[in-house]
Amino acid sequence: GESVGLHLPTLSVQEGDNSIINCAYSNSASDYFIWYKQESGKGPQFIIDIRSNMDKRQGQRVTVLLNKTVKHLSLQIAATQPGDSAVYFCADYNTGTASKLTFGTGTRLQVTL
Amino acid sequence: GAVVSQHPSRVICKSGTSVKIECRSLDFQATTMFWYRQFPKQSLMLMATSNEGSKATYEQGVEKDKFLINHASLTLSTLTVTSAHPEDSSFYICSAYDASGGVNNEQFFGPGTRLTVL
């Protein structure tokens, strides 16, 4: 991901709606991508991952889309719930570089009732 | 998934003192652990890679003499912030890499340590 030290952008979504969080990465050699969820005062929690030989992967209520052409990653959360409120980070790495993750800037998701 | 713990969860210290933070993998062996620093409303920035039995590899701009890392066993890495100053106040997070993780090669993150230097 591209981490530039800026304040976190915020996405406000109404409960029950779908959320789409976007991320850009810069390393064209990255071949593994992960989305993390971080709640206040806690460490990152793994949500879903995708390898570069795929362009879509689905989990429970979450879908990750990968567009290698424009180096873009997105996380879709279906039927967003209040418990989804957190900061979401994408991270990427090249599996040939000792699993060294590069985190994106992050997006704060606020779920309104 | 695998569990990583950190101790302490939060610490307040006076300027000039040293603080040690422990990172433990509780149910797996971690040949590699990573230390990150996160300032408020910012992303995680990798500080160093800690390899069991060898010297840590520091990222550019991170002072190795200030942030001492010791990875003495396959389940424990420690980060010591020496002569801490207020600008070192931050959220420090470790992660452990489970080499036996198979396809995913997933890193497991600790809960973080909030350091406040007065």
A20-34, A93-107, B3-17: lowest mean pLDDT where?
Answer: A93-107
Confidence at residue B105, expressed as pLDDT on a 0 to 100 scale? 59
The single-letter DSSP state of residue B18 is -
Among the partner residues A6, A43, A105, nearest to B110 by beta-carbon distance:
A43
Instruction: Find the mean pLDDT for residues B18-46.
Output: 93
Please report which confidence band the pLDDT of residue B27 belongs to, taking 50, 70 and 90 as the band edges: confident
Best mutation target, B10, B32, B43, to test chain A (most A CBs within 10 A): B43
Within 8 A of B93 by CB-CB distance, chain A residues are 43-44
Bigger pLDDT: B110 vs A3: B110
Interatomic CA distance for residues B79 and B77, integer angstroms: 7
Banded model confidence at residue B98, pLDDT cuts 50, 70, 90: confident
Cα separations in angstroms, B107 against A48, A93, B10, B93, B112? 12, 12, 22, 12, 14
Supply the pLDDT for residue B104: 54
pLDDT of residue A4: 41
Q: How many CB atoms lie within 10 A of CB B17?
A: 12
- Residue A96 touches chain B, beta carbons under 8 Å: no
Residue B63 predicted with pLDDT over 70: yes
Q: pLDDT at residue A36 above 50?
A: yes
Contact A101 B32 (CB under 8 A): no
CB contacts, 8 Å: A8 with chain B: 41-42
Q: Grade residue A3 by pLDDT with cuts at 50, 70 and 90.
A: very low
Chain B: give the shortest CA distance to residue A67, in Å.
20
pLDDT at B78 over 50: yes
> What does the alpha-carbon distance between residue A2 and residue A9 come to, in Å, rounded to a whole number?
13
Mean local confidence (pLDDT), A73-102: 90
